[in-house]
Structure formats: C-alpha cells, structure tokens
Chain A
Amino acid sequence: AQTVTQSQPEMSVQEAETVTLSCTYDTSESDYYLFWYKQPPSRQMILVIRQEAYKQQNATENRFSVNFQKAAKSFSLKISDSQLGDAAMYFCAYRSGSSGSARQLTFGSGTQLTVLP
C-alpha cells in the first residue's frame, strides 16, 4: 500500500519570504501522480499543484513550485513571495496512475502553514 508522510506538522514564514514544505511517499509503482492541496479555515480542499511521475520537469503554478525527486520519493512544495492568504493546512497526496488500479487519493497528515505579517 502507498503511504504519504509529511514530517512538519507546523511551519511559519514571514510575508514575502519563501517557504518549503516537505513530503515523502512510498510506492512500488512507476506510474502515479502527486498533488498538493490547500485547506484554508473554510475547510474547502483546493488543488494547488500536480505532478505526473513520468515528467522529469518540476511543475510550477505562479508562486508555487515543486521539487520532485523520484528516486528519493520526495515531493516538496515551495511557496515564493508568501502572502497572508497562503496561510492554511497543506496536504500532500498520491494517486496511482495504472489503469484498473485504485483511483483514490492517499493523503499525508498535513502541514499547518502560518504566514507572519
């Protein structure tokens, strides 16, 4: 079974600075997808960024980028120019890409990000 580990329960960053959230995962599959979701106080789950395992290039979405290290099974999220609105719980998630396999997301335990003004 796949597992996702987020070893930082809490992180803080100064507004306009950069912060990196860590995520590691364990899988025997070669085809899969990785995601970062944001959960603000409203509790709505918002997709921040996704990465296909077969792509070597790291995904980027505006101020959000990932460092995907497939051999090390590491998938960290970097938030540049942090804003107050970035404060939220961030979840790393894994999904198998093999046809016929389970399609559910496996989530880590989350990292609570605080942005300091």
Chain B
Amino acid sequence: NAGVMQNPRHLVRRRGQEARLRCSPMKGHSHVYWYRQLPEEGLKFMVYLQKENIIDESGMPKERFSAEFPKEGPSILRIQQVVRGDSAAYFCASSDRGGSYEQYFGPGTRLTVT
C-alpha cells in the first residue's frame, strides 16, 4: 500500500512565477490536509479538503494561494506570483473515509523562490 505521494520533491521558481504542488493521498483516503513549514519553524495548517470540496481554508493566505482536490487525480496546491517569503516545505497529509484521527504525511515539497 503506497504511502502519500508528493511531487515534485524540490521546486525552484523565480519571483512572479506560478508553483503547482501535487499530492496523491494513500489508497482509500479521501481527506487531504496541506501544511507549510517555514525554515526553523513547526508545521502550520493551510487547508483541509475532501473530494471536490474545500472543508476548511482558514490557514490559507487570502491572496495568491488556492487548493483543489478533484474527483479524479491528485490534490493540487497552487501558488501564483510567488515571492521569496513563499520559500518553505509544503507537506500533504491524508486520512481515511471515516475521518480517522491519524494523518499520514507525504515527504513534502521544498519550494525555493529565487
């Protein structure tokens, strides 16, 4: 049973470009969470999605950031017009249909904005 997959593992973007981060949850999981880890800090919640629905986006910056989890395919975290402050590790976690309290994390995507 494959774990949570994230790609790319490393992404370099220039200021003003768009970054698209992908997350494939564990098989059978329909709940996806995105977290951001700034350098030297803990993980901070960004958004919680179920298939085709955003459940809680209280941790998402108001501008430039969006997320989706379509019926088919991976969840996507999209950052438009990236700035240096967006440089961070972005982690995706998934949990099962029953809303199990255990979240399984992917390996993360390290975004560097130059």
Residues of chain A whose beta carbon lies under 8 Å from any beta carbon of chain B:
33, 37, 42-47, 50, 91, 95, 97, 102-110
The 5 A-B residue pairs whose C-beta atoms are closest, nearest first, are: A45-B105, A107-B42, A104-B45, A107-B43, A109-B42
Q: A103-B99, A104-B56 are in contact. Are A43 and B89 (CB under 8 A)?
A: yes
Per the bound structure, the CA–CA distance linking A37 and B91 in Å amounts to 13
Q: A97-B101, A104-B56 are in contact. Are A44 and B45 (CB under 8 A)?
A: no
Q: Find out whether the CB atom of B43 lies under 8 angstroms from the CB atom of A43.
A: no
Q: Which residues of A contact B93 (CB under 8 A)?
A: 45, 105
Number of B residues near A (Cβ < 8 Å) is 25
Give B44's nearest chain A residue, CB to CB.
Answer: A107
Q: Which residues of B contact A50 (CB under 8 A)?
A: 101-102
Q: Find out whether the CB atom of B41 lies under 8 angstroms from the CB atom of A109.
A: yes
Q: Find out whether the CB atom of A105 lies under 8 angstroms from the CB atom of B43.
A: yes
Q: Is B107 in the interface zone, CB < 8 Å from A?
A: yes
Q: Is B48 in the interface zone, CB < 8 Å from A?
A: yes
Q: Which residues of A contact B44 (CB under 8 A)?
A: 107
